[in-house]
Structure 1
């Protein structure tokens, strides 16, 4: 396995042109995009895109296809179900409009004064730009967007373009693939770039786990990503892409999703993608996995007037019959440094095997036995579950089959700190409060020792005076990496 570690990795700006977030750049100097003259015949129907000419004279035109369905709408009886292949359509679909984004609860930024006490000014301005493009929501949201060099349609079949599939991040609970425009990347690098939407939050990751149903699909968002990859495998050649040369790339929570797919036995080895790029995130990050999803599923069930005591099939049936608003309005409070709805162990897409079941298996992580309570029972926290997921023999074997590139920026997780934190730094007392919260919500035992170890590890001992600016950088590193990265 080839592992490349990139310290400074240019991530989202590469994908962003003046069309970012669907914003039109067409004015008197930039004529409207021209509908393509060719019809592309996919396995599900005919489709026609449009031509975009980048402003730079060094970039060739790109053919864009927006809102291409890759699965049936996950509505009605298909809510909380694995994605189903899309039905064929008749006629020629004109792919010039983005699809709705998946239902999501967006960050509340209406009170600017209050918001700036939590996040930086730059982050606030970014949210003001992106959120308006996430308001058109629908459960019918399983669509993808394709950006291909315009000459892709006339290239010889043996000279197809490599394919990059981008899995968006930001959160497991909001965002979309629509805002990330692949025009410049497709033209400059000679790639077919694909962005995807997948189910988020409650609809994407609800997991009412029970011992009676140890293997029951729950990571619907990850299954959507797999379904999109199957569609791309089947159809990307007609857009000029090479289905045998696909790179899966994710950012933030999207990177963690990619990491889970890299090691999942539900993904056919080397068939759907062939290498991966993880930008500013990883499945090894403490926030990447929800350790106790049943707790949050019970909150949703109670709020929607479905008994949490129902068996899993009956509970999901009840929740399918409830209005969407009854699910999204549930009062779920999540501890810092974690998510209520995100990837979790379902025994199908994400599995631990028997590493957290048999106390005699002798499993160790980093030379230390897996954490146990004073009674000798294994501790089921996120860290132990993550370790078990990625250290299974099958997961290790799966991971070695792919080339992997890892990328981080100089200072991660600026979005988690206020403007004052970023500008003036963090005092030692505030750092201790943040780290205590992180340790308390991440680990189960030996909390004082872990806290002391983290502070020791992320203290610049060559500087006798701990200036708030230096403390700020070390705190950001802990927030992003955890003590496990």
Structure 2
């Protein structure tokens, strides 16, 4: 998933060091951070592209030697994976909590949908974002609906972000596990679709 790794961690390090007035050299920086009060650390403001993970693991070639997908294809990890029973699960909407309450309640315009998708694509794929955007809008537009409205746009936005950030990576992982497990283990998959009638955002 694009949100499972952080990218350009050196840029984030510079931002943190600058705001906390710490040196940039690795050793002195670590000592400086250790001596900072928790409250000061929590108040650091990080400027990162939308829909990216500011703090998290990154492929550094040492702790994480390669991308997770490539590592999972290595024999030593496949042997471990093939011995495990794994249950994968999704809810009917994995994305609504990423957006503000008014967006969830009242929906979004077509222009807002395109803007937010463009921001996501630029931060994730960098290149060919216009081509990808057009393909996504074509795939998720229901042409049987005479005229789309804000709620339809909102639902499409939730589907797109749910699929891109959660469902597609999870299905890929399930596919890899199913391929290597043969008769040694089992793969299970469920989708939880129950909608409460009394909780927040029951309409989602």
Distance change (3 Å), C-alpha of 1:303 and 1:471: same
Aligned partner of 2:197 in structure 1 is none
Specify whether residues 332 and 420 from structure 1 end up closer, same or farther in structure 2 by C-alpha distance, changes over 3 A only.
Answer: closer
CA contact (8 A) 1:426 1:471 kept: yes
Instruction: Give how far 1:339 is off.
Output: 2.0
Q: Deviations over 1:23-59 (max 9, x none)?
A: xxxxxxxxxxxxxxxxxxxxxxxxxxxxxxxxxxxxx
Name the SS of the counterpart of 1:405 in structure 2. strand
Give the alignment's TM-score, normalised by structure 1. 0.31
Maintained 8 Å contact 2:22/2:29: yes
Distance 1:424 1:331 in 2: 30
Among candidates 288, 302, 307, match of residue 18 of structure 2: 302
The reply to whether residue 293 of structure 1 matches residue 9 of structure 2 is yes
The residue correspondences of 1:351-366 to structure 2 (distance < 5 A) are: 351-352=65-66
1:315 paired with 2:42, answer no
Q: 1:418 to 1:326 in 2, by over 3 A?
A: closer
Alpha-carbon contact 2:6-2:55 (below 8 Å) kept? yes
Distance 2:77 2:149 in 1: 42
Considering fraction of residues, name the structure with more helix. Answer: 2
Where does 1:87-236 land on structure 2 (aligned, <5 Å)?
A: none
Instruction: Specify whether residues 428 and 341 from structure 1 end up closer, same or farther in structure 2 by C-alpha distance, changes over 3 A only.
Output: same
Q: Which residue of the partner structure matches residue 420 of structure 1?
A: 102
Larger Rg: 1
> Aligned partners of 1:320, 1:418: CA distance in 2, in Å?
34
- Matched residue count: 167
Change in CA separation of 1:446 and 1:386 when aligned onto 2, cut-off 3 Å = farther
Tell me the residue number matched to 2:139: 457
Corresponding residue number in structure 1 for 2:42: 328
**Kept in 2: contact 1:289–1:344 (CA 8 A):** yes
Determine the structure 1 residue equivalent to 2:86: 404
Three-state SS of the structure 1 residue aligned to 2:27 is: helix
Call closer, same or farther: CA 1:481–1:340 in 2, change over 3 Å.
same
Show CA shifts across 1:104-158 (max 9, x none).
Answer: xxxxxxxxxxxxxxxxxxxxxxxxxxxxxxxxxxxxxxxxxxxxxxxxxxxxxxx
Residue deviations 1:408-441 (CA, integer Å, cap 9, x gap):
1112222223333323332211110110111011
8 Å CA contact 2:93, 2:162 repeated in 1: no
Which of 1 and 2 has higher RCO (CA within 8 Å, sep 6+)? 2
Distance in 2 (CA, whole Å) between partners of 1:305 and 1:419 is: 36
Tell me how far apart the structure 1 counterparts of residues 114 and 138 of structure 2 sit (CA, whole Å). Answer: 12
Aligned to 2:129: 447
CA shift digits 1:421-480 (9 cap, x unpaired): 323332211110110111011112111111122222222244343333222222112223
Question: Separation in 2 of the partners of 1:419 and 1:331?
Answer: 23
Matched-pair contact (CA < 8 Å) for 1:303–1:326: no
Q: Is the 8 A contact 1:426 1:469 kept in 2?
A: yes
What is the deviation of 1:294? 1.9
TM-score, reference length from structure 2 = 0.69
1:411–1:473 CA contact under 8 A, matched in 2: no
The one-character-per-residue Cα deviations of 1:265-298 (angstroms, maximum 9, x if unpaired) are: xxxxxxxxxxxxxxxxxxxx21121022221122
Is the Cα–Cα contact under 8 Å of residues 108 and 153 in structure 2 kept in the other structure? Answer: yes
Bigger strand fraction: 1
1:431–1:475: 8 Å Cα contact kept in structure 2? Answer: yes
Consecutive unaligned residues in structure 2, runs of 5 or more: 170-204
2:152 to 465, 470, 473: 470
8 A contact 1:424–1:469 mirrored in 2: yes
